[in-house]
Amino acid sequence: MFGISFTELLLVGLVALLVLGPERLPGAARTAGLWIGRLKRSFNAIKQEVEREIGADEIRRQLHNEHILSLEQEARKILTPTQQEPAPFQPEATPTVAPPASVADATPAVTEPAKAQEPAPAAPTPAPNDTPQPPRAP
């Protein structure tokens, strides 16, 4: 982080040993360690608080943007000329067709070429004896 190498730390340790002496050096190292730990914890707390605020700001910004977008959409609806909305889709009524009775009915039958149709025989005419007679009065 600061670019402190092992030789520089060794030099600082020797100066501290000469200045403080061997009796007070362990207590000073302990106190320095506590202060360094407190500084690290406070920096981490500040860092987390800033990240939380940035996250909250980001959420606020997104909510604000969504609110602006919804207002913009409402304004567009109001300002644009109203167009007739298409009627909802309704299926047309289709005539129902009965399905064929069988497969044979569904396929066309092969027939012989059309022949000259002969006229159908006329209904038989009653013979003169077969005509009904009205009943005779006595």
* One-character DSSP codes across 34-55: HHHHHHHHHHHHHHHHHHHHHH
Chain centroid to Cα 62, Å, comes to 21
Q: Assess whether pLDDT exceeds 70 at residue 33.
A: yes
pLDDT band of residue 41 (cuts 50, 70, 90) is very high
pLDDT of residue 64: 87
Report which residue type is found at 96: T
pLDDT of residue 122: 60
The whole-angstrom separation of Cα 2 and Cα 14 is 20
Mean pLDDT of 12-27: 91
Q: Taking a C-beta distance cutoff of 8 angstroms, is the pair 25, 16 a contact?
A: yes
H/E stretch holding 15 reads helix 6-20
Q: Taking a C-beta distance cutoff of 8 angstroms, is the pair 23, 14 a contact?
A: no
pLDDT band of residue 58 (cuts 50, 70, 90) is confident
pTM exceeds 0.75, yes or no: no
pLDDT of residue 45: 95
Average pLDDT, the chain: 76
pLDDT band of residue 23 (cuts 50, 70, 90) is very high
Mean pLDDT of 23-37: 93
pLDDT band of residue 27 (cuts 50, 70, 90) is very high
- More confident call, 23 vs 112: 23
